[in-house]
Structure 1
Amino acid sequence: MPTSAHELPLELLRLDPALPDWVQTELLGGADAPAFDHARLHDPHVRPQTFLADAMVLYCDAEDIPVRGTVYEVQRGRDARKLGSWKLYVGHLETEFRVTASLVVFVPDPAVARWYRDQIAADTHSGARLSPRMFTADDVPLLPDVEQATARPASALFAATCHLDDADIDVMFPALLAALDALEPEKKIFYDDVTVGRLPQAARDRWEAFLMTTAVGRRYHYERYNEIDARGEARGEARGEARGEARGEARGEAKAVLLVLDSRGVPVPEAVRRRILECVDIDLLDLWLRRAATADDVDDVIRGHTGQA
């Protein structure tokens, strides 16, 4: 599982091997290229094995025969050796599969990208000239289109990772939610962590407020979002209490605990349900709510508190 900023764009490529084609044709306005039926990852090892590309993609027809290829690299720093190894990667792909291969390089830092472009422009003697489609985070626009995010979640997630610190990131919230919702549960949890989890605190607070405006019901594979829903509903009820504000807040927190447990399918005996609803200790209810998000049994939620709450 990726643990660095270098690996995240590659993990998104594994999610959708056609991502470099989207970059070339839509973001960078590339020339017409042969049509393909599907894209598949190819072993990025280039023999001799001391050379290893970040990723290689083959675009194939319906019979799985490659019609073109792409070497996809993520480059965060200046490394003159790449000017030679990139040629080797492209040459390997073209030689092995007898296709034309492009070179797509994501360079998050515009200054680093300019350095590479200057180095390539100055190379007038090499017998193999580089012509990479090099792009930076600034070249990736915000993608607020929900339909596009649903159809191509990797594109929306990639765009979000390039704009996490932008003041306008909120316009992508519906598309980001749609992209996450299009993924399998385990992938959804991971990509939520590496996108939403990296938002600045103020933006993350706005994201959670946005979630509370979406349709009511259990709709998140990630229990933290169901908990946010529960808190929103419960605290809305608490604010609506004309009298007994403290009791209203406690009642709302208690209902949040039960809502999370019910949404996760955890059985709650009637006696325990009454005990939770009658609890007026906000701190204790907050503890129970945090436990409810992961507990397999209601006893795990209220453990250590056997007396009257």
Structure 2
Amino acid sequence: MVSSSHEVMHRIFQEDPGMFPRAFRKLGIGFPDPVAVSFLPTDLTEVRPLERRVDTLLRFDSADGSGYLLAVESQTAPSKAKPSAWAYYAAHLYAKYGLPPVLLVTCQDRATERWAARPIDIGPPQWATLTVRPLVLGPGSVPMITDPEAASADLPLAVLSAVTHGKDPRIGAILKMLGAALKTADRDTAMVFSELTELGLGALPAADLWRNLVSVDLSFFRSQTAQNLRAEGRAEGEARAILRVLDRRGVPVPEEARATITACTDPGILDTWLDRALTAATIDDVLAERVEPESPSA
């Protein structure tokens, strides 16, 4: 089954195709800005009953009349079947469209990133008839954007950064920055990229942190998750988010600690616990040295 994070890692280029040359220009590869971008069919199946489908396929046309194809593949883990499939994509696209293809692989962990970046030689050891060299965007190449101004200047890249670094211990700071940046965009744009972030994080613990962040301002972020949290009440929603993060990360939560978390109604304490839950090794790491709510001024 295709996961939501898999979908977002290539669909983000459908929302803003120009992000591709911008991202790689920062990495020293000078793709020109397109003057036109066309969506092409993703089905690469031949007459034979063998279905081959690329995740996203775009045609980029440049001002000088040249152009190229961008095939985006979202990869969640190394796969023995993918190198031959990618070689097929490259050869088929070149034969079908007469344009040079670029294979872009997006991933969310460094092991997959290293695997995907290796050149693929097709042929005997003495001579490779075809060599496929994927471009890869992953945690080692996508910049970690933690500045709200930089995020506001390029929201699609900021979303890709957040999704790509979803497993990083610093994801809390990245998501808080992204939330602040989205508030500078118009409502429709913010809704689209808020939903893409939520889907892109998938089942990662950081997804619960993002749901908590977007639930704070429900008049602006209108995701279904935010509406659910509103119905439950913010405190209850935060408590459930903390417990879910700990459960996903395999941290045991005794009944007494579970009762303490669910009974808490102080937003400041819940926020602290949620931040700790992302990296805590034990439940004591989450609840230790609890910050007591301030007493009302006399």
TM-score by length of 1: 0.56
Q: CA RMSD in A?
A: 4.0
Give the match for residue 190 of structure 1: 195
In the TM superposition, 1:1-309 aligns within 5 A as 3-26=3-26, 28-30=27-29, 32-48=30-46, 50-61=51-62, 67-117=67-117, 120=120, 124=125, 125-172=127-174, 173-179=176-182, 181-182=185-186, 184=188, 187-188=192-193, 190-191=195-196, 193-194=198-199, 199-200=205-206, 203=209, 207=213, 219-221=220-222, 224=226
CA distance in 2, matches of 1:21, 1:39: 12
* Aligned CA distance change for structure 1 residues 67 and 81 (closer, same or farther; 3 Å): same
Q: Answer with 1 or 2: which has the greater Rg.
A: 1
Query: Partner amino acid for 2:192?
Result: K
Q: Which structure is higher in helix share?
A: 1
Which blocks of at least 5 consecutive residues in structure 2 are unaligned? 236-298
Identity of aligned residues (%): 18
CA distance in 2, matches of 1:188, 1:113: 24
Structure with larger RCO (C-alpha < 8 A, sep 6+): 2
Question: Are the counterparts in 2 of residues 170 and 207 from structure 1 also a CA contact under 8 Å?
Answer: no
**Displacement, 1:25?**
2.5
**Displacement, 1:106?**
1.8
* Aligned CA distance change for structure 1 residues 35 and 3 (closer, same or farther; 3 Å): closer
SS in 2 for 1:108: coil
CA distance in 2, matches of 1:52, 1:222: 30
Give the match for residue 274 of structure 1: none
CA distance in 1, matches of 2:119, 2:32: 30
CA distance in 2, matches of 1:205, 1:118: 36
* Aligned CA distance change for structure 1 residues 18 and 42 (closer, same or farther; 3 Å): farther
CA distance in 1, matches of 2:74, 2:201: 22
Would you say how many aligned residue pairs link Structure 1 and Structure 2? 222
CA distance in 2, matches of 1:167, 1:176: 17
TM-score by length of 2: 0.58
SS in 2 for 1:52: coil
Query: Partner amino acid for 1:191?
Result: L
**Displacement, 1:93?**
2.9
CA distance in 2, matches of 1:45, 1:106: 19
Query: Partner amino acid for 2:71?
Result: V
